[in-house]
Amino acid sequence: MATLDTAEPSRRDFLYIATGAVGAVGVASVAWPFIDQMNPDASALALASTEVDISAVAPGQIITVKWRGKPVFVRNRTPEELKKLAAMDTKALKDPQSDADRVKKGHENILVVVGVCTHLGCVPTGHAGEYDGWFCPCHGSVYDASGRIHAGPAPLNLPVPPYEFLSDKVVKIG
């Protein structure tokens, strides 16, 4: 004899559904403390971005700030340095990029780059090397004042992190 399929859940179905729901709630309440622990705490979130007062960075000066555990160089480039960079032929570089593509319009003097050599991760020295940019003492990579690689084993320019000008004096990195 054929049984009638009914959309109404039987009493037994209801029991299964109810047990399943309790199970799901149980899992959720057990899982939450673990998930919550995985969320970054307020101090870690604060480090996700760093605000830098650049009014204290004199022309020609480089400061190093920490962002997400890495050094970031903020360099206030002089008009002479900008002139030299503009005159450079960059097509032959390993990682060709114009200086204009690495800075914010209207704030061309300020360069913000992650201070980690793209070869094996040493921290390059500022105002050093053939181009008075950065020199990596580990294996001799030479960067210019735009953080672009000119010589040595590093394959790429010093990376430009995400950043924005909150005002003429404050840069937010991250």
Residues within the interface to ligand FES (CB under 6 A): 117, 119-122, 136, 138-141, 152-154
Separation of CA 164 from chain center: 12
Least Å from the CB of residue 146 to ligand FES: 17
- 3-state SS, residue 103: coil
53 φ, ψ (degrees, to nearest 5): -85, 105
Determine whether 47 is exposed, middle or buried from the number of CB atoms within 10 Å of its CB (0-12, 13-18, 19+): middle
Least Å from the CB of residue 143 to ligand FES: 9
- How many Cβ atoms from other residues are within 10 Å of residue 81's Cβ? 22
Q: Of 107, 119, 139, 150, which residue is the catalytic one? A: 139
Place of tokens 């204009």: 100
Please state, in angstroms and as integers, the Cα–Cα distance from residue 100 to each residue in 56, 93, 131, following that order.
23, 15, 18
33/69 with CB nearer ligand FES: 69
Least Å from the CB of residue 115 to ligand FES: 11
59/121 with CB nearer ligand FES: 121
Q: What angle do CA 164, 73, 116 make, to 5 degrees?
A: 115
62/117 with CB nearer ligand FES: 117
Least Å from the CB of residue 160 to ligand FES: 18
Q: Is-catalytic flag, 119?
A: no
52/114 with CB nearer ligand FES: 114
* Pick from 150, 143, 79, 78: nearest CA to 113: 143
Active site residues: 139
